[in-house]
Structure 1
Amino acid sequence: MLTTKERTGIYSEQIRSFLISNFYVSDARALVNDTSLLDQGIVDSTGVLEIIGFIEETFGIIVEDSELLPENLDSIQGIEQYILRKMN
């Protein structure tokens, strides 16, 4: 079984790959874990719905309406921490 630290790295890369392949990211190297996806114009409200679909399909968790918060969905780090919380 993977440790939380190992899962964190794996999840982070899965999220980053999804973002790069599904949204316009002008410089993938500049997409660091705490970059605000909304502030940088990488995702908009429709993009948030795509991220939710990705989370639910990839990680098998349900994103509740009450969890649609910027701290859960606005950065790679936020998404990753949200997933880890939901899976524990």
Structure 2
Amino acid sequence: MSDTIKDRLRAFIIENFLFGDTDYALEDDASLIDNDVMDSTGVLELIAFIDEAFGIKMADADIVPANLDSLSKITAYVTARKAA
């Protein structure tokens, strides 16, 4: 299931933050913020996507880099929340 989640998140990031650039090497553990893939507005877009795509409403306390700074971290967060 997490592969499907990761694939959906990867597709969203490529489409919305990389403007469809599939040549960009989006590594699972690379920081989206430090690598200028996503900014604070992008975080809000990502939160809205997580709510819409996975039915997860993020609490303010969950909106931290530990949950949202890389594809791996986002996937782990969504997977854990769906399992709860």
TM-score by length of 2: 0.90
Partner of residue 55 from structure 1, selected from 50, 56, 59: 50
Whether 1:20 and 2:10 are equivalent positions in the alignment is: no
Q: Distance in 2 between matches of 1:50 and 1:74?
A: 13
In the alignment, structure 1 segments of 5+ residues that lack a partner are 1-6
| Aligned residue pair count | 81
Q: Distance in 2 between matches of 1:43 and 1:50?
A: 10
Counterpart for residue 78 of structure 2: 83
Q: Identity percentage over the alignment?
A: 42
For 2:74, what is the secondary structure of its paired residue? helix
What whole-Å deviation, never above 9, does each CA across 1:1-43 have from its counterpart, x for those lacking one?
A: xxxxxx1111111001000100126533x10111100010000
Counterpart for residue 2 of structure 2: 8
Instruction: Report the structure, 1 or 2, having the larger helix content.
Output: 1
Q: Distance in 2 between matches of 1:55 and 1:8?
A: 14
TM-score by length of 1: 0.86
Counterpart for residue 3 of structure 1: none
Q: Distance in 2 between matches of 1:60 and 1:37?
A: 23
Structure 1: 4+ residue segments shifted above 3 A: none
